[in-house]
Amino acid sequence: MVVGISTSAWDEIDFREDRLRDGLVLLSDPEGEVIEDYGLSDVTLGEEVARPATFVVGPDGTVRWRHLPQDWRRRLSAVDYLKVFDAIDQGVPVPQLDEAIHP
């Protein structure tokens, strides 16, 4: 299951219906409670924003892998995420991944 968390209010997430049809569970966190709990708050260009992050959580609730870029513009590709999932499924270390600048 893939879960996305947005700091936008539910009624402001205009793409929610399309994403839900694609199998993504989308949650709204306009108060930033999840951002605070996971320490993902960042100051960028003088504004407090949510730092992009990825957590792979196992069926037992343990975090199996996480990606916390220092620069909010750096993102992994979909291919990189597939490499992560494959490594976790095979029980091998996750390979080193290169972040790309997000436009």
> What are the tens digits of pLDDT across the range 38-78?
888 887 778 887 888 888 888 898 888 888 887 777 788 88
Confidence band of 90 (pLDDT split at 50, 70, 90) = very high
What is the C-alpha to C-alpha distance for residues 100 and 30, in angstroms, rounded to an integer?
28
Q: Which residue has the higher pLDDT, 65 or 15?
A: 65
Please give the pLDDT value at position 4: 81
Q: Determine the Cα–Cα distance for residues 103 and 91; give it in Å rounded to an integer.
A: 33
Q: Long-range contacts for 18-22 (Cβ within 8 Å, ≥24 apart)?
A: none
